[in-house]
Amino acid sequence: MKPTRKLRDLGQSLWLDNITRELLNGGTLKNYIDDLSVTGLTSNPTIFDTAIKNSAMYDQDIAQGASSAKSGEDLFFSLALADLTRAAELFQPVFDRTDGVDGWVSLEVSPLLARDTKSTLAAAIDLHRRAGKPNLFIKIPGTAEGLPAIEEAIFAGVPVNVTLLFSREQYVAAAEAYLRGVERRIAVGFNPAVASVASLFVSRWDVAVAGKVPAELTNRLGIAIGQRSFKAYRELLAAPRFQRAANSGARAQRLLWASTGTKDPKASDALYVKALAAPFTVNTMPEGTLKAFADHGEVDRVLEPDGGDCEAVLAGFAKAGIDIDALAARLQDEGASSFVKSWNDLMTRIDSKRVAIRKAS
């Protein structure tokens, strides 16, 4: 039995953190579903920028858009929705079999709206409507400005993948925004079963402190933050507040591990996958990490609901001079800025292709 199948049988969903037309057209994504137990997919501006840069498969659609009045942003969402609706169809059997728990794909709102709650909500509603697929998450950042948009999107019935979460506190804030949206639906008699995941970024913690801590703490910060957040997740699921909502038909917002590709070349290429195995969670992996884990990954235990040794490990980082709360805020801010840069690069890429196609025609 493949390690990916073992992980799935333990109760964790394996999602691919990538999408390209080559993956769709060549049948690779279908093979990952059939052979590697992949049950969902995530995307972001960087992924699409790389896909469009390295492929001619988007040129025809860009050429058609080049002769229209579409903005670069409108053209991008047309391209992305074309890919993601195809992927959503591939995952539809999983979505149906799990009654909407699994089988999701994700599309991000423009990161330029990250500080604008009203515009983020409007974009989320519009994109979900345009997709026309029940198993499409709209990604909204879990920043202070994003939290009201998350609550309003859930209240409006839009499934949300909360992104850019880096700490237990940021996760809890996102989970509470989700619950507020659900509770408001219950209060007015709407169906509260609106799906959501909360995406906690892992590996960037270890990149941020590389070379700044004792050797025994190397590559342990991201995992410890994951353990601490998992404890909060399990406590939330057991809390009377969520159980009251669940009794009215609400779904649990699943915890998702993001940024799980190992950045340290000296560490195991499946470091975060093995360490963060846990039932009723999602691990979205870069393609290389997925294939590495399928080839030689191991799963010998699952995360402990009480957080295991995370507090002792985190105390070690504090002793080494790492301010966890300040670093979490910095990582979220840097993540938001990075997404803006990727978005601007993507818009530039599309515009340059449009110009080149016009000149060639």
Cα–Cα distance, 290 to 269 (Å, whole number)? 10
Among 133, 139, 231, 353, the one annotated catalytic: 139
Written as six digits, the tokens of 267 are: 């560490």
Written as six digits, the tokens of 195 are: 């799906």
Q: Measuring CA to CA, which residue among 26, 138, 135, 35 is closest to residue 91?
A: 135
Inter-residue contact 268 to 292 (CB < 8 Å): no
Q: Is there a catalytic annotation at residue 263?
A: no
164: left (phi over 0), alpha (psi -120 to 50) or beta: left
Strand partners, 199: 256
Task: State the amino acid at position 119 in one-letter form.
Answer: S
Rounded to 5 degrees, φ, ψ at 13 are -85, 140
Cα–Cα distance, 54 to 226 (Å, whole number)? 33
- In this structure, the chain runs to a length of 361
Burial of 52 (0-12, 13-18, 19+ CB in 10 A): buried
Residues noted as catalytic = 139
